[in-house]
Structure 1
Amino acid sequence: AGAPRRGLRRLSSGGGGGGGAKGSAPQTHQTIKGRTRFYVRTGVMPAKDEAAAAVPAAAASGGGWQVTLDGRPLPTPARAPLVLPSEPLAWAIAAEWDNQSTPVGIEPSFMPLMSLASTALDQIAVDAEPTINALLPFLKTDTACFLAPPEERILRARQEEVFAPLLAWVRERYGADLAVSEDIIAKPDHPADAVAALEAAMRGMDCFELAALQCATFNCKSMVMGLAVVEHELTPEEAQRACRLEEDFNVEQWGLVEGGHDVDMAASLASLSSATTFLRLRDLGREMQ
């Protein structure tokens, strides 16, 4: 029993980086990267009252759940209670820890759901402003708001086919009528009320939703696509195809760089899938109540 306690104390001593101009940095237990697994069993338990009270977004879902390592509640990298909004999400994160038996030791990058939860609780729940302020500028360079010039007929047609429905959805869902640019240099001049509407939508999200939105937006270089992912309007595969539309078109013309394009695609899809899974498991818990 002594070894797991020492491991958990070191586990909760920080790591993973902090917030900043680029928003909320993904939080993982980087202090244990490469360490030999120091626990035997993983599990889940209902959150203790004092722990649940510290996380309103989880408490609002019915009291919250905690992951355990050898029976002890797992903390976040910042030593906060890791209280999750649903039992299915807690079990999924417990499974990430249970699968940590790689030859090189514990690998935090293999725990994307844990990373999202820790980012939500350690950073966004404490102060959502850095995340919101980092996401809003994506509208100025949003992938969905740029079209190739008319003379590039094939690419332009593909973009219109994919981007127009997304912009129509944002307009209908949020009342945000975003502008479109045909010049890669000229940023789209979005109406102020459209930007305000999307900012208000973000402020209405809890810390878990914002963490998933940040993940999807950063990957797609598009808040429009990020919102579509967290609202389940796009699947991860659809979002990846949408955000890589021009790059995939260029690959058709010039070929795939093995070890480059393919690796980027796999990493991007894994990240988008984690954001979708994170929220699906959160919602599944609500449906089970």
Structure 2
Amino acid sequence: MKVPTRIPLQLAVPRLQFVRPFHQSIARAANVAPIVGAGPPPDPPTPAARNAQERLERRRKHAELLKTAREIRSAQEGKSETVARRFWKEVTVREVDGALQVHLDARPLRHPNTKAIIRLPLSKPNLASALALEWDILTSAQQATKQHLIPLTSLVCRALDILEDDASNRPEAAKIRTAITNTVLRYLDTDSLLCWAPPAGPHDRRNDAGESLRDVQKKAAEETVSYLTTHVWPGITIEPVLDGHSIVPRKQPEGVREVIQGWVMGLDAWEIAGLERAVLAGKSFVAAARIVAEWSEGAVGTGRMLPLGRFSVEQAAKATSLEVDWQAEQWGEVEDTHDVNQEDVRRQLGSVVLLVSGTGKQRY
């Protein structure tokens, strides 16, 4: 006898399922508002500036607009931006006690740390005039506290610090000179002028003369190295630190570093300060050494003895940035990056030329 299976009541009776509709809002037609704009239509977009002159003009106009806006805002607040806030009116160069001094009205320019009067040799009138011009374009005393607005003053003070350190009788004398020598010699092993690209392949770019990047780098390096090994460090051989497909820089032959180190330690205060600035600007020790050697009025200067063309700031800047310029010509430059860096390198190398050069009759 079979026992009937009993089904629970809740399973036997179907349950009502709640169904939620997907759309609950009422569709409405779009209500387009009429265009009621006033005035002429906006100007069409203009292409980006294609050269440095156009970019410079655009930045000048932008600066004028910002200045006008500040003046309007200051006038509304009861202030005046046009009033000069610096405490001096005129900047002059004077000869005082056998040295050149920059005067802010009647006050001599002083070292920001030691408060000593900045005294320049009589043989450096161009440096004194450039230093005076740097302070003449400042609009407030507050700007004088910003190092990027007085770069030449900082460089001159660096040379004066080295001069004072060399003349001191302390046991740790020439400490600054030794630190600078150790710093700049490190760049000899990674010199931007001695790092050459691998040999060009069939698809690599060449210039109008048919030269590859390696050919251009090699030509620039050999010219500078030949000058140095002939007139500055005769008898030594300087080799490229990166050549071919190598990725690990190699050091110079034995004895080269010792000769160059002795030359750096023998520079006067103005020359070694200029060498430090040039090396840090161009990342090239050999290019910086040639600038100092050709332009210096001191004992290491070769410009008065050799009837050769000066290694100009423009030539040095191009030599230290060959690869960057080569890539920018092929792929284009980044606005406000490559152009700003190029101008900054030229500014720093130009300050080195002002620092080490002179009339050749150095008296202090």
Place the TM-score, normalised by the shorter chain, in its bin: 0.7 to 0.9
Indicate the structure with greater helix content: 1
Residue in 1 that maps onto 2:223:
165
Deviates further, 129-138 or 102-111:
102-111
Distance 1:247 1:91, change over 3 A: closer
2:107 equivalent to 1:72: yes
TM-score when normalising by structure 1: 0.74
Residue in 1 that maps onto 2:257:
195
SS for the counterpart of 1:214 is helix
Of 286, 289, 310 in structure 2, the residue corresponding to residue 224 of structure 1 is 286
2:90 equivalent to 1:41: yes
Distance 1:259 1:288, change over 3 A: same
The answer as to whether partners of 1:124 and 1:131 remain within 8 angstroms in 2 is no
Of 178, 191, 211 in structure 2, the residue corresponding to residue 142 of structure 1 is 191
The answer as to whether partners of 1:146 and 1:184 remain within 8 angstroms in 2 is no
Distance 1:128 1:288, change over 3 A: closer
Of 73, 98, 121 in structure 2, the residue corresponding to residue 85 of structure 1 is 121
Which protein, 1 or 2, shows the higher relative CO under an 8 Å CA cutoff with sep ≥ 6?
Answer: 1
Q: Distance in 2 between matches of 1:105 and 1:170?
A: 40
Distance 1:285 1:97, change over 3 A: farther
CA deviation vs aligned residue, 1:161-182 (integer Å, no higher than 9, x gap): 1111111112112133112131
Q: Distance in 2 between matches of 1:112 and 1:194?
A: 33
The answer as to whether partners of 1:42 and 1:67 remain within 8 angstroms in 2 is yes
SS for the counterpart of 2:255 is helix
CA deviation vs aligned residue, 1:81-112 (integer Å, no higher than 9, x gap): 31212351223312221221279844543433
Deviation at 1:277, TM superposition (A): 2.3
CA deviation vs aligned residue, 1:126-147 (integer Å, no higher than 9, x gap): 2311111111101010112221
Larger radius of gyration: 2
The answer as to whether partners of 1:179 and 1:188 remain within 8 angstroms in 2 is no
Deviation at 1:191, TM superposition (A): 2.1
Residue in 1 that maps onto 2:361:
286
Residue in 2 that maps onto 1:101:
139
Residue in 2 that maps onto 1:177:
237
Q: Give the share of equivalent positions with the same residue, in percent.
A: 30
The answer as to whether partners of 1:76 and 1:122 remain within 8 angstroms in 2 is no
CA deviation vs aligned residue, 1:1-60 (integer Å, no higher than 9, x gap): xxxxxxxxxxxxxxxxxxxxxxxxxxxxxxxxxx93122232333344xxxxxxxxxxxx
Residue in 2 that maps onto 1:267:
344
Residue in 1 that maps onto 2:151:
112
Letter of the 1:151 counterpart:
A
Letter of the 1:260 counterpart:
T
The answer as to whether partners of 1:145 and 1:188 remain within 8 angstroms in 2 is no
TM-score when normalising by structure 2: 0.60
The answer for unaligned runs of 5 or more in structure 2 is 1-83, 166-175, 202-210, 295-309
